[in-house]
Amino acid sequence: MAEFDRTMQFSEKLKSSFFNRSHTLHSSSMDSPMKPYFRSSLNRMDSVKKYYNSPFETMKSASNSIKGKVKQLCNIFEGGKSPPTPAEGSHHQIQSKLKSAKSFASDFRIPSIRLPGTEDRIVVYLTSLRGIRRTYEDCYAVRIIFRGFRVWVDERDISMDSAYKKELQSVFGEKNVSLPQVFIRGKHVGGAEVIKQLFEAGELMKILEGFPIQEPGFVCEGCGDVRFVPCMTCSGSKKVFDEDEHVLKRCLDCNENGLTRCPECAS
């Protein structure tokens, strides 16, 4: 009986020691290894939040500083004159163009540079070559403006006939004359900028009153609105055969390109 009691006490000691060790292992495994893990993970999350939040915070601070500087500048220049708005600026430009156009229209009757023999027509000296882009664009713009009014224009292309260049130089008395140049009723009007200003101000319509109006889409059948045709005498070769002397001579009816003025639209 005493031996049975000793065995029971020994078994109870074993149970208590086993449960105590399991408890200590469980508590130590949960307390000591896991706590540093959770603490490190929390620290990493905090660092990540700080990393992603820091650029936004710096941007906010930068924007706030910029706004503050803008307010300071506004306060400094508040007493000065405010710059004109785009609408006001465009209005002033239109008004200045109108004034210049009206002044030019009032001075249109004053004789200055004149082109004799053209009192009944509109003459435009231009070029169809695209050697100088700005010059070609100005010539094209003037042509389009006049064609919009459907009035007949005596277009004198200096690239098609060098005689027109000499004629223009003799009128101005200068060798270097910019293109295009417009003459209306024999009086010199100006270049592309003047025509554009008159057109935008509505004064060009008044100046062109009295000229005959062509049909919409009218195109000369003889030259296709080129104003030149091949010479009928030499067929554009610039040479004719002299039967008396039996030699080839220079054709006197065409220009240096073997062309003549269109008899239907440019006579």
- CATH number for domain 94-207, candidates 3.40.50.20, 3.90.1150.10, 3.40.30.10, 3.40.50.2000: 3.40.30.10
Structure confidence by residue, pLDDT tens digits, 46-56: 554 454 444 44
Structure confidence by residue, pLDDT tens digits, 79-122: 444 444 544 454 555 555 545 555 555 455 445 799 999 999 99
CA dihedral 184, 188, 190, 191 (to 10 degrees): 80
Residue 71 has pLDDT above 90, yes or no: no
Q: What is the pTM of this model?
A: 0.60
Which residue ranges make up each domain of the chain?
94-207, 228-261
Strand partners, 220: none
